[in-house]
Amino acid sequence: MVSVEKSPAWFEKTLEDIRSLKVQGAEEIARAGVVAAARLVAERRDVDAGVKALLATRPTEPMLRNALAAFRRAVKLSTPVEAARKVLRHLDDADGRIAAYAADLITPGHFYYTHCHSGTVVKAFLEARALGAKFAVRNTETRPLYQGRKTAAELAAAGIPVVHVVDSAARVALKGCAAVFFGADALLADGTVVNKIGSEMVAELARNRSIPVYVLANSWKYDARDASAFKTSLEHRDPAEVWDSPPKGVRVVNEAFELVNPKLITGIITEYGVRDPRSAILEIQRHHSWLADDG
């Protein structure tokens, strides 16, 4: 772990909350990182070391890296509070636009499928419901940490019916679904999407049933690497999350993320609209050339 010299207890707690997934989801992690960086600046602490420590908690998530880069650019021209607010406003505005674009794809009377937990996907479903669409969602539990339960709870609290299934029931649960909606941890330069393990399996099953697959992601999730360069960075979490005391001779592998082939993706929905993977990446590069530079 990268540490911050004489770092305060609140900062160490932020780092641990991110590592332990108490704070989860690329956008929520980015928000927490920006708020922490702003406080470090305000307290006149070692911001460079602080940013390194924050990035070390989630080295495979470009949104944290890009949000912190945006903050550091903004803070040169304003106060820490104003710079943080500028970054957070981008996140809020992008969320609203993405939710609106996705809601247009949700037709009343159908089932929609999602995997793991994506705050962006949840917001899209809530937007569609607020506009009057009555639909239902099928989602997977997402072992070993069951992030799918959070998705199910949030949707159910908003009055959206949810059918919650074990991961191995994905093929059965997809039957009759009108579309699949995923979040993303990264959007790579070749159109590949990085998301929770199991995502490509679901995408392949959906393709076999001619079910469209949409990825909802803020443009700041862009990473200038392609799939071959990113592959070695995929996170493996503690095997004990899967099996805390396996018998001798059993090696537990706990892969957290995987690459989703862009050929399996119908469209990537960013704040710039719904586009095929390659067009979505070109649009991001056109609007945010600095992401590649700072990333």
Give the DSSP letter of residue 6: T
Helix (H, G, I), strand (E, B) or coil at 182: strand
26, 66, 10: which is closest to 222 by C-alpha? 66
- Which amino acid is located at 241 in the chain? E
17 has catalytic annotation: no
Residue tagged active-site, from 46, 48, 92, 185: 185
Phi first, then psi, for residue 136 (nearest 5°) are -130, 160
- Which amino acid is located at 58 in the chain? R
Helix (H, G, I), strand (E, B) or coil at 146: coil
State the SS3 of 22-40: CCCCHHHHHHHHHHHHHHH
Active site residues: 185
